Amino acid sequence: MREEDSNWFSRWEEELPSPEELMPLSQTLITPDLAIAFDIRNPHTTNTNPTTTPPQQQQQQQQNQTPISNPSPPNPSQQPTSTDFADSGELGSGTAGEEPARTLKRPRLVWTPQLHKRFVDAVAHLGIKNAVPKTIMQLMSVDGLTRENVASHLQKYRLYLKRMQGISAAGAGGTASAAAVADPATDHLFASSPVPPHFLHPAARPNSDHFLPFVPVPALHHHHHQQQQQLAAAQFHRHVGHFGSPTNGHFENPFMSRPSQQQQLHRMGGPVHNSVSGGYVEDMESANASGGRKVLTLFPTGDD
């Protein structure tokens, strides 16, 4: 009853990813220096596009082909910055203009368990009533996350909850092992994060949103957690920077601890990692292998 609420509420903050765990979307995972160190370069420097630009939807693919790193700039004296590091502009001549770089299609966002958890937390605190994409998005305050991302995810999440209710009801009815009925294939992600009790029992808690009208996440971090993003960024940067040589002596690699993420994340063994595109991290190395797809990773850390 009430205890659950207060409990849930107090636990919320605790369960929120700590600044150290948070991985901001707007961080480059690989520094230019690192790229150079690993001798990362463009497999095919073919940027010279045919004069005829096929007015088809292939434009996105052209982007995707853009591997990270600037190949071999005719200007060795110039240190590549994280900015131009994002795209050397090989596709700039084609469909994608360099100007509206941010208006371009955002790379596919990967809903990591951590990100989803944040999502669930936000929804939980808003209450189902107020849990609309826009507010959720604001609450999450994840850089780079769009309203549509949330809307889309919310849509699926609702379906998931619906199913959960269904099976839980059926299970209570008598058909045991109903929980097992939940499609394991459909909700890997959702299952990874605990669903607030009242989500499944709307009737039990008709007004769970009375105590939390709207609280921006940063505000919730009453501590010094304000600049979590920068903090995490710095830390993460260090990790990446020292790749194979932990200076701290006790840091674990911030990357996946879940096998399921591996395919979307990069493999540690590979030098190639990702570039930043004014918003978040992308992975292209696995992309090139499978046809070229851009993937966004938000919370590389696999902590639950």
Partner DNA sequence: GAGCAAATAT
Partner DNA sequence: GATATTTGCT
Interaction with DNA in 176-215: which residues (CB under 7 A)? 185-186, 188-189
- For residue 6, state whether it binds DNA (rule: CB under 7 A): no
Q: How far is 200 from 182, CA to CA, in rounded Å?
A: 14
Could you give the CA distance from residue 107 to residue 277 in angstroms, rounded to a whole number? 9
CB under 8 A, 24+ apart: contacts of 3-10: 4/197, 4/198, 5/205, 5/208, 5/211, 8/124, 8/196, 8/197, 9/125, 9/211, 9/212
Does the footprint of DNA cover residue 132 (CB under 7 A)?
yes
* Identity of the residue, 58 or 78, whose beta carbon is nearer to DNA in the bound complex: 58
Matching residue, tokens 């020292």: 242
Q: Which of 47, 30, 56 is nearest to 238 (CA)?
A: 30
| Residue 147 binding DNA, by CB under 7 A | yes
Q: Does 110 bind DNA (CB under 7 A)?
A: yes
For DNA, give the closer residue by CB, 71 or 292: 292
Buried b (16+ CB within 10 A) or exposed e, 274-303: bbbbebbbbbbbbbbeeebbbbbbbbbbbe
- Could you tell me how many residues of this chain bind DNA (CB under 7 A)? 36
Near DNA by CB under 7 A, which window of 11-19, 149-157, 207-215, 218-226?
149-157
160 binding DNA? (CB under 7 A)? no
Q: Does 265 bind DNA (CB under 7 A)?
A: no
Applying CB under 7 A, the span of 1-9, 20-28, 153-161, 231-239 interacting with DNA comes to: 153-161
Work out whether 103 is an interface residue with DNA (CB under 7 A). Answer: no
User: With 0-12 CB in 10 A as exposed, 13-18 as middle and 19+ as buried, what is 6?
Assistant: exposed
Q: State which of residues 117, 118, 125, 153 lies at the interface with DNA (CB under 7 A).
A: 153
Strand order in the sheet with 281-283: 108-110, 295-297, 281-283
CB of residue 116 vs DNA: minimum separation in angstroms?
A: 8
CB-nearer residue toward DNA: 136 or 240: 136
Helices and strands counted in the chain (H then E): 13, 3
Residues from 44 through 73 that contact DNA (CB under 7 A): 57, 60-61, 64
H/E stretch holding 84 reads helix 82-86
Which of residues 109, 139, 217, 276 is near DNA by CB under 7 A?
Answer: 109
- List interacting residues with DNA (CB under 7 A): 57, 60-61, 64, 105-106, 108-111, 131-135, 147-149, 151-156, 158-159, 185-186, 188-189, 287, 291-294, 296
